[in-house]
Structure 1
Amino acid sequence: MTDTRQIARQQQHHRDDERCQALRALLMTPLMTPAHEEFAAVRRHADDLRAWFARETGWPLHIERDCARLFKRPADLSDASRGLQGYERRRYVLLCLACAVLERAEAQITLRLLGERLLALAADPALASRGFAFTLTAAHERRELVAVCRTLLALGVLQRVAGDEEGFVRDATASGEAADALYDVQRRVLASMLVAVRGPSTWPAAQDPMTLDERLASLVDEHVPDSDEGQRTALRHHLARRLLDDPVIYFDTLDEAQRTYFTNQRGPMAVRLCEATGLVPEQRAEGLALVDEDGALTDVAMPAEGTDAHATLLVAEFLADRRRAGTTEGCRLDQVVAFIAEARTRYGSYWRKSAREPGAEHELAETALQRLAQLRLITTQGEHIRPLPALARFALGDAELRTATPHAPNSLFDAA
């Protein structure tokens, strides 16, 4: 009987651990296909995962044979740091146009045909009136289209059947049939791209939101029941979304209703979220952070390897020391640039060659400050940088340089 109980406990522990890993995978990869390692676990725990996300965050979770989609709607619409890597407004327009082409396409499409149909949509006078132009004649425009296709490949919307994209970029005449690629279009994945509560095309012309803020709000506006319970649920979902999406929540970023609820409920909320995700809560006077000790549940790791990551940690320590010394008002951008230029004399031998060039400190400073802002460790306003309380948890220890010891050859090939 004892062995049976022990086996049952081990099986339950395995199920709990697998469910936790599946939940973490969905947080990192909200649009998941069978190509992802955790997809099978997500399907096995589908009912529990749907119930948990609905209860704690209000995010719908759709799981089908071809894909799983967690509709993560952001709590902070003003955060511009969540975009796709290397994307700006122009490339987002191309991504939307490409999806519109694929929505009307057959089960397969070539890169060249995708480009031709995209050109027809790009010629819309409404886009031209906003300064958007796309001709596909220059190499950089073909490179932009290829970048969009590779994004769709990474998301699982497209699957490459044959060919490659590099030949299409090099083909200046756009007439060589060999310089092309063939894709399968995964319609279920494509249909799951948009996470809006209401599609933009459903707005009548007379009610169409005008400003960018109005359009963003209209896309994710959710119905909240006009009752005390409905209001409390909406507050809980809003705060849980921020805790799972953001590294930290500060009390001074919340309105009165959110702050009151958060003050009373942050303890139980942190326990529930951390039990399910494996995160570790850090409750401070200024707010609450959910920390991933493995450093895996983030798209901006710190600390990390590489010159940019090292410079970021150095800047974090520089700003944290100023805050500890009582300089809470922060510093200017030129002071950070000067600090990196000085640090280069100490650590430059370990940095990549381009970072040691004169003037490279400006780029390193901008990269470091961008990473720290994404982690909610600083705020920037123009040339002014203000450190936030959570920055104090980062410090740089003394470097430990290890000399590689040659290992004894264990085979004839090693000895050679």
Structure 2
Amino acid sequence: MNRLSGQAAHEQSTVVRALLQQPLLLRRGRHTHTLDLARRHQAELRAWFDHHLGWRLHIERDRLRLFKTPASTDPQGHLAPTARQCALYCLILAVLGECGKQTVLSELAEKITALTGAHGRLRRFDATHHRERVDLVAMVRLLTEQGVLATVGGESTTTRSQEKEYISGTGDALYDVDHRTAALLLASPVPPAQADGPQALADALEPARADTLDEGLRHALTRRLVDDPAVHWDDLPAQQRDFARARADALITAVRLGLDTRVEVRTEGAAVIDDELSDIEFPKASAASFATLALADLLCTRIDSSHPRRPYVSHTQLHDLAAQLSEQLGQLIPNINGQPISATRVLDACLPLLLQLGLVAHAPGGIQCRPVLARFRAPAGQGLRPEGEELMLFGAHDLPQPTTSEES
């Protein structure tokens, strides 16, 4: 996109950014303008996604669908659906084809029960169980957000109340069905029902359609860059790691220009620094997130003082840090998750969040701090949460200088 005029490049990057955040866009609200831009630049956009990511872009007058397959099959974020919810999501899509223009929760439950009962390899759905009804409603709400289902008459408040009644076993909820949008949702290269198993389906997500090895490596790396909060070179398979080090300039330039964003590249890896895209964001302010940021800062102190790329912290050392932190936190916040502050409470609240965000990793007898943890180091005298330019990827001040740099 670097050869395009400024206006055309901006319009195309607007569509790219929107699709990376939400791969299915319908002509409604603020996305109306995005669809108009996509139709105007459809040839260039299809070529960009195909060349850099190996993803197919489908464009209709009222729908945009980027058939995006993830760089990793690991769930990301604390709000990621569970395995059961993912299965129910696919099952709802499977039975919607048998529904008319409208459906109700009880009809979906009956059809899913029949479908799972007819296939021995599927876990049977049982709507008499409260947990099953909760998961079903959660996936129906997700499909409502995606435009496959719609509340009748636009009364979302009424529908939410009816969904709660269904979960409690006393009510039902009615939805309009958009069959065309439902047909565009499945992005798997092969239908799940035709895959030999979960691993075969995961293998099919690899960028295997590439014509050459270099093309496959480019697709895999660019997918990681646009999907992951941070890419550590050491985490990559050997071929991808060598390719990244040899072609970093071209890869980063393509992402920076295509997304109209800032990409930070350092010795340890790279990341898109962009609040709307793959940047790391802690959950909304709470005592637990506040404590986690404080613990991240203490762990960063160990990075600065010891200098190994991934310093190891034993369980004993981690408990000592948590004890030190609990004394400080006791002067600032009354409790964590409604419980008195203690070293054990700090670890119970903070460690799962650090692991979920990929800032630390389990290691025998302790944890290993990952380089990206340094983004949450608090500069001296500026409190616990760095802001602006201090929120650098691998730490702006003490870590080795990057081998490749990008101007913001």
Could you tell me whether the CA contact under 8 Å between 2:224 and 2:231 is conserved in 1?
A: yes
Contact 1:316 1:372 in 2 (8 A): no
CA positional deviation for 1:351 = 4.4
Q: 1:201 deviation in Å?
A: 3.1
Could you say which residue in structure 1 is the equivalent of 2:389?
none
Which of 151, 164, 180 aligns to 1:160? It is: 151
Instruction: Tell me, yes or no, if the aligned pair for 1:24 and 1:277 is still in contact at 8 Å.
Output: yes
Whether 2:312 is the aligned partner of 1:321: answer: no
Shift of the 62–56 alpha-carbon distance from structure 1 to 2, 3 Å rule, reads same
Superposition pairs of residues 343-382 of structure 1, within 5 angstroms:
343-348=325-330, 350-351=332-333, 353-355=335-337, 357-358=339-340, 360-373=345-358, 377-381=359-363
Task: Provide the rounded CA distance (Å) in 2 between the counterparts of 1:135 and 1:302.
Answer: 35
Q: Note if contact 2:291-2:346 (Cα within 8 Å) is conserved in structure 1.
A: no
Q: Percent identity?
A: 29
User: In 2, Cα distance between the equivalents of 1:280 and 1:238?
Assistant: 20
Tell me the alpha carbon deviations over residues 163-215 of structure 1, each in whole angstroms, 9 at most, x when there is no partner: 524335435895x6xx3222111122211222111213345xxxx35xx3333
Once the two structures are superposed, the pairs formed by residues 390-401 of structure 1 within 5 Å of their partners are 390-397=372-379, 398=381
Tell me the CA shift for residue 150 of structure 1: 0.7
CA displacement, residues 290-316 of structure 1 (integer Å, 9 cap, x when unaligned): 322xx2213741596433432332222
Say which structure, 1 or 2, has more relative contact order (CA 8 Å, 6+ apart). 2
Q: Spell out the pairing of 1:166-185 with structure 2 (5 A cutoff).
A: 166-170=161-165, 179-185=171-177
Match of 1:278 in 2: 260
Residue in structure 2 matching 1:142, options 128, 133, 151: 133
Question: Residue in 1 aligned with 2:249?
Answer: 267
Over 3 Å counting, the alpha-carbon distance change for 1:141 and 1:352 in structure 2 is: farther
Deviates more, 1:331-340 or 1:387-396: 331-340
Asked if structure 2 preserves the Cα contact closer than 8 Å seen for 1:23 and 1:42, the reply is no
Aligned counterpart, 1:82:
76
Q: Give the deviation of 1:347 after TM superposition.
A: 3.2
Q: CA–CA distance in 2 between the matches of 1:351 and 1:159?
A: 42
Specify which of 36, 51, 54 is matched with residue 43 of structure 1: 36
What pairs up with 1:121-136 in 2 under 5 angstroms? 121-124=115-118, 126-127=120-121, 132-136=123-127
SS in 2 for 1:281: strand
Structure 2 distance, partners of 1:382, 1:192, is: 44
After superposition, the C-alpha distances for 1:326-371 in whole angstroms (9 at most, x for unaligned) are 2644214564455345424323565475436135324312343234
Q: Is this contact kept in 2: 1:119–1:135, CA < 8 A?
A: yes
Residues 144-175 of structure 1: CA deviation (Å, up to 9, x unaligned) = 2211211111121111105524335435895x
Distance 1:352 1:116 in 2: 48
1:71 corresponds to 2:67: yes
> Do the aligned partners of residues 368 and 360 (structure 1) sit closer, same or farther apart at CA in structure 2, a change above 3 Å counting?
same
Is residue 303–residue 313 contact of structure 1 (8 Å, CA) maintained in 2? no
Distance (Å, rounded) in 2 between the aligned partners of 1:351 and 1:103: 52
Specify the alignment match of 2:405 in structure 1. Answer: none
My pick for the range that moved more, 142-151 or 339-348, is 339-348
Aligned residue identity for 2:295: V
Which residue is equivalent to 1:241?
223
**Does structure 1 conserve the Cα–Cα contact (< 8 Å) formed by 2:280 and 2:357?**
no
Match of 1:151 among 142, 146, 169: 142
Q: Is the 8 A contact 2:57 2:67 kept in 1?
A: yes
Residue type matched to 1:372 in 2?
Answer: L
Give deviations 1:248-296, integer Å, cap 9, x for gaps: 333323334323322221012212211221322322222333322xx22
Kept in 2, the 8 Å contact 1:142–1:168? The answer is no
Figure out how many residues of one structure are paired with residues of the other and give that number: 368
Aligned equivalents of 2:94, 2:58: Cα separation in 1: 22
Query: What amino acid sits opposite 2:199 in the alignment?
Result: D
The change in CA–CA distance for 1:25 and 1:309 in structure 2 (over 3 A counts) is farther
- Correspondent of 1:59 among 45, 55, 62: 55
Q: CA deviation at 1:34?
A: 2.3
2: CA distance, partners of 1:334 / 1:104: 57
Query: What is the aligned partner in structure 2 of residue 189 from structure 1?
Result: 181
How far did 1:385 drift? 1.6
Give the C-alpha shift of residue 318 in structure 1. Answer: 2.0
Q: Does 1:19 align with 2:12?
A: yes
2:81 aligned partner, one-letter code: Y
Matching of residue 113 in structure 1 with residue 93 in structure 2: no
| Contact in 2 for aligned 1:198/1:220 (Cα 8 Å) | no
Corresponding letter in the other structure for 2:175: Y
The code of the aligned residue for 1:24 comes to: R
- 1:9 matched residue in structure 2: none
TM-score for the superposition, normalised by structure 1: 0.77
In structure 2, the CA distance between the partners of 1:56 and 1:137, relative to structure 1 (3 Å rule), is same
- Residue in structure 2 matched with residue 223 of structure 1 by the alignment: 209
CA distance in 1, matches of 2:264, 2:283: 18
Q: Is residue 197–residue 220 contact of structure 1 (8 Å, CA) maintained in 2?
A: no
**1:282 alignment partner, SS class:** strand
Contact 2:54–2:210, Cα closer than 8 Å, also in 1 = no
Change (3 A) 1:341 1:84: closer
Gaps of 5+ in 1: 1-11, 402-416
3-state SS of the aligned residue for 1:195?
coil
Q: Aligned to 2:174, what secondary structure does the other structure show? A: strand
- CA change 1:351–1:196 in 2 (3 A) is farther
Q: For the residues of structure 1 that align with 2:118 and 2:325, how far apart are their CA atoms?
A: 51
| Structure 1 partner of 2:287 | 307
Q: Which moved more, 1:352-361 or 1:240-249?
A: 352-361
